A and B are shown apart, each in its own frame.
Chain A
């Protein structure tokens, strides 16, 4: 199982894998929308986001929609490359 070294620890968790999958096909997504998509709690999503941020796989910006603050997340180039590599490793397992 030499191939497993290409597996990214950051994507071992289902929620983090889900976040990155969604951010690969959307320019940006806000916190509430992601929460709805993944069906997780605020705290759960926030902690996984933190991990991805620390890896510099996602970046965020704050916006105001009226009075409500909105946090928009997007995948960084770094994160996209890491996700592609992870996907490739997964694919090779089944070839």
Chain B
């Protein structure tokens, strides 16, 4: 090995160690794609529970009763659990393949930084729901999810930042076109996740 080759390798070692020690690289693209698909299925079920018992000759009317709220919350919970479950499963598999552990210092940092804006938004939405402001909850969840992603992106794959910015923009648009919350939800949590999952899969594998 020539001296020059060795120096190039040294620089690569430095770069690799600096990113590996600060960023969680095992985030799985497949789990992003799956989360997107769950969200689309969930949006379909949510749609049918809100817009059930309609006469198709009249204008559609969103019918949010305490019964449909219960089924909406149930749909949301199942989607969330499935998404987190496949995220943990596929990221764990990817970590194993990269000879890393899933639960390391980088993963902790990522989750804490994701959780602060996300929990804030979640609590705010619950308070608003309890006070009857149903309409702004859908756009707000997109905005806070986007902020959480932007905040957490420093500690993982760079694509996450772009996804976060798009979610924020989508949330703001949704705030302007209130009443289409479910549609924007399906785009933000469904289609965007699928697109970003595919691009992460192609760029970083698995």
Contact = CB atoms under 8 A, between A and B. Distances in A.
Interface stretch (B5-13, B38-46, B193-201): B5-13
Contacts of B99: 39
Interface residues of A, number: 19
A87 B104 contact: no
Interface stretch (B17-25, B82-90, B120-128, B138-146): B17-25
Interface in A1-48: 11, 14, 17-18, 21-22, 24-26, 29, 33, 36-39
B101 interface: yes
Contacts of A39: 99
A93 interface: yes
B130 interface: no
Contacts, number: 45
A37 B7 contact: no
Contacts of B14: 17-18, 21, 87
Nearest to A12: B10
B100 interface: yes
Contacts of A87: 14
B63 interface: no
B17 A21 contact: yes
Given A33-B105, A36-B101, A90 B10 contact: yes
Contacts of A94: 7
A39 B13 CA distance: 13
A26 B7 contact: no
Contacts of A11: 10
Given A29-B21, A33-B105, A39-B99, 12 more contacts: A11-B10, A17-B14, A21-B13, A21-B14, A26-B21, A29-B105, A36-B104, A37-B17, A37-B21, A38-B17, A93-B4, A93-B7
Interface of A: 11, 14, 17-18, 21-22, 24-26, 29, 33, 36-39, 87, 90, 93-94
13 contacts: A14-B13, A17-B10, A17-B17, A18-B14, A21-B17, A22-B17, A22-B20, A25-B22, A33-B105, A36-B100, A39-B99, A90-B7, A93-B7
